[in-house]
Amino acid sequence: MGRRRRKRDEEEEEEEEEEQKQEDEKEDQVEEEKEVNQVEGGRKGEVEGRVQWGSEE
């Protein structure tokens, strides 16, 4: 019985590691997008800001 439990724990650990890996990749992607937006200069944000203000009127 102990072996079966140990195997299940190992499978759960592998699943947790896989989930953590996916979360890390998402965070990296978000960071890259932020950097790209900064490199493009605030122009994209300015344009989006105008669109948002215009839609509220």
pLDDT (tens digit per residue) in 4-47: 778 889 999 999 999 999 999 999 998 888 887 676 665 555 65
**Segments forming the whole domain that contains residue 6:** 2-56
The pLDDT of residue 53 is: 57
Q: Per the structure, how many domains does the chain have?
A: 1
User: For residue 54, what pLDDT is reported?
Assistant: 54
Q: Are residues 44 and 37 in contact, defined by beta-carbon separation less than 8 angstroms?
A: yes
Higher-confidence position of 52 and 21: 21
Residue 57 has a pLDDT of: 47
15 near 23, Cβ under 8 Å? no
Higher pLDDT, 35 or 50: 35
Cα distance between residue 25 and residue 46, in whole Å: 28
